[in-house]
Amino acid sequence: MIEITLPDGSKKKVEEGATPVDIAKEIHPALAKEVLSARVNGEIVDANRHLYADANLELLKWDDEGGKKAFWHSSAHLMAEALEDLYPGVKFGIGPPIENGFYYDVDLGGRELTPDELPEIEEKMKEHAQKKEVFERQEVSKEEALNFFKQKGDEYKLALIDELDDGDISFYKQGHFIDLCRGPHIPHTGYIKAVKLLNIAGAYWRGDENNKMLTRIYGITFPKQKELDDYLEQLEEAKKRDHRKLGKELDLFTFSDKVGPGLPMWTPKGAIVRETLQAFMRKEQERRGYKPVITPHIAKKDLYITSGHYEKYGEDSYRPIQTPHEGEEYMLKPMNCPHHCEIYKSQMHSYRDLPYRVFEFGTVYRYEQSGELNGLVRARGFTQDDAHIFCTPDQLKAEFTNVIDLIMVVFERLGFGGFTAQVSLRDPHDQENYIGSDENWQKAENAIMEAAEEKDLSTVPEYGEAAFYGPKLDFMVRDALSASLAFCWSIVAAICLFGSPLNKWLFCPSMTK
């Protein structure tokens, strides 16, 4: 027997090998029908995963983010199965869940998919869903995985497998469809009752314009038809309130092909709105001890190599600028963090100077793929209200608490009522991609969780979502229609660890995107 601890602290003795669904059945048969996935010791897994040791268990349903992600991830596989039926020889790139629904990047061998074909794919998806095909996980060796996709002639899956370690590869099978996947997935396809494929777009393989353009199919599914009907009605209403439409009608901002895609320009009316927001934020931060700074729009490439940002985010930045001086390279500023660190380093500081708080309305530039651009929500040039706090470890929690207070003031003044607070932590199974000592990470994570608890924030932990330099507390806000998260607002508060005795804090609400 093994002991399972539930979120309310209660414990259950179950037989070794029991699944989360089995445990749900013991609690109540109706509950078992709602379980889509489970969080076991902090990791989200299949609801049918067998448990062989004592564990903390949380059962995830449709109302839980982890449940939705498993539902939509499984729906992407269901769509891929339908595509394989309808378009023999189709090859598959990646098919993840997204904020609302899912997509799959596919290679149809030069065939152009049209919107008129989407209903047929939907019907085929429903046909497989009604069969209640079980999602079966299979651990495979790297050699087995390579041989399988070599036989299928799928170069995209082969490229993905090449980057994986032997012993860390799994397939998922439902019906006749087999895919390379880590999961998790819902128990079977029968949970998917309502299907809608929303649109088709082009997407370069791996986001690289030098690679082949694949067909990206977006879709969304629900466990009830009424939920889909409500969502589609909400989408129609959202079109009327699209910020790109309103921005043009109200004469707030504009774009120009001659200036470049993703580079907004603010008209006189828009500039007034933007400057009013900045004045509000400036006042709130200065009264809390933040000092304004201004940094250049470009910097030497070496700065971002030193900070570690270039290694992690270089592919998402504009290409380095060559100067007349041989070997000298500059970059358009993709983030403000290293610049603020250099300001701090420019003078000697006593511990009596801490905490040292600076802020900037800093414009940054990132080379987002053209297919991902979306007005002011996803742009190539945008301005962040970006602040950094240098403090001692003893000041850590207090400073974080003060940042939360500031965020709550902003939310209240601007009318953002519904939000989700997510604690973004390291991946416990893959810590090689993070810098800093385990001791500092533990202090930082504890400070975040303790500060959030003291402020009565209801938080959701997400493992693997931390930045490479530290954990974060992410605030994701709903739009005017209480629809998709983070479309209108995103505030990130992160502790950045550079191996020094001081911890650098990052607070960057995207106030003026």
Cα end-to-end span (Å), the chain = 54
What are the φ/ψ torsions at residue 483 (nearest 5 degrees)? -100, -125
Q: How far apart are CA 203 and CA 207, in angstroms?
A: 7
Q: Please state which CATH number belongs to domain 254-297+334-509.
A: 3.30.930.10
Q: How far apart are CA 153 and CA 282, in angstroms?
A: 57
Block residue for tokens 């992600």: 69
**pLDDT for 169:** 94
Q: How far apart are CA 320 and CA 469, in angstroms?
A: 23
- In the chain, % helix, strand, coil (3-state, to 5) comes to 35, 30, 35
Q: Residue 134 burial (CB < 10 Å; 0-12/13-18/19+)?
A: middle
Q: Is 91 helix (H, G, I), strand (E, B) or coil?
A: strand
Q: Is 210 helix (H, G, I), strand (E, B) or coil?
A: coil
Q: Residue 87 burial (CB < 10 Å; 0-12/13-18/19+)?
A: middle
Q: Is 104 helix (H, G, I), strand (E, B) or coil?
A: strand
Its sign, for the CA torsion 472, 478, 483, 488, is: negative
Q: Is 309 helix (H, G, I), strand (E, B) or coil?
A: helix
- How many other C-beta atoms are found inside a 10 Å radius of the C-beta of residue 324? 5
**pLDDT for 495:** 44
3-state secondary structure 108-164: CCCCCCCHHHHHHHHHHHHHHHHCCCECEEEEECHHHHHHHHHHHCCHHHHHHHHCC
Q: State yes or no: cis peptide before 184, omega within 30 of 0.
A: yes
Q: Are strands 177-180 and 194-204 parallel, antiparallel or unpaired?
A: unpaired
**pLDDT for 279:** 95
**pLDDT for 207:** 80
**pLDDT for 500:** 34
Q: How far apart are CA 457 and CA 418, in angstroms?
A: 12
pTM for the model: 0.68
Q: Does this chain's domain 68-240 share its CATH topology with 254-297+334-509?
A: no
Contact between 150 and 158 under an 8 Å Cβ cutoff? The reply is yes
Q: What is the DSSP letter of 323?
A: P
Domain extent listing, the chain: 2-61, 68-240, 254-297+334-509
Cα atoms in the Cβ-side hemisphere of radius 13 Å centred on 355: 25
Contact between 186 and 47 under an 8 Å Cβ cutoff? The reply is yes
Q: Are strands 291-292 and 356-365 parallel, antiparallel or unpaired?
A: parallel
**pLDDT for 362:** 92
Q: How far apart are CA 390 and CA 358, in angstroms?
A: 9
Using one digit for the tens of pLDDT, what is the confidence trace for 23-50?
A: 999 999 999 999 999 999 989 999 999 9
From residue 377, how far is each of 301, 373, 486, 488 by CA, in Å? 27, 8, 9, 7
Q: Residue 319 burial (CB < 10 Å; 0-12/13-18/19+)?
A: exposed
What tokens does 476 get? 């994701």
Using one digit for the tens of pLDDT, what is the confidence trace for 392-401?
A: 888 888 888 8
- Identify residue 9 by its one-letter amino acid code: G
**pLDDT for 479:** 64
**pLDDT for 223:** 96
**pLDDT for 481:** 55
**pLDDT for 480:** 60
**pLDDT for 96:** 94
**Superfamily name with CATH number, domain 68-240:** Threonyl-trna Synthetase; Chain A, domain 2 (3.30.980.10)
**pLDDT for 144:** 95
Q: Are strands 253-254 and 503-509 parallel, antiparallel or unpaired?
A: unpaired
**Superfamily name with CATH number, domain 2-61:** Beta-grasp domain (3.10.20.30)
Helices vs strands, H then E, count in the chain: 14, 26
DSSP letters along 259-307, please? Answer: T-TT--EE-HHHHHHHHHHHHHHHHHHHTTT-EE----SEEEHHHHHHH
**pLDDT for 513:** 26
Residue numbers of the chain with a pLDDT score lower than 50 = 483-513
Block residue for tokens 């649109």: 199
Rg (CA), the chain: 24
Q: Report the Cα 166 to chain-centroid distance in Å.
A: 27
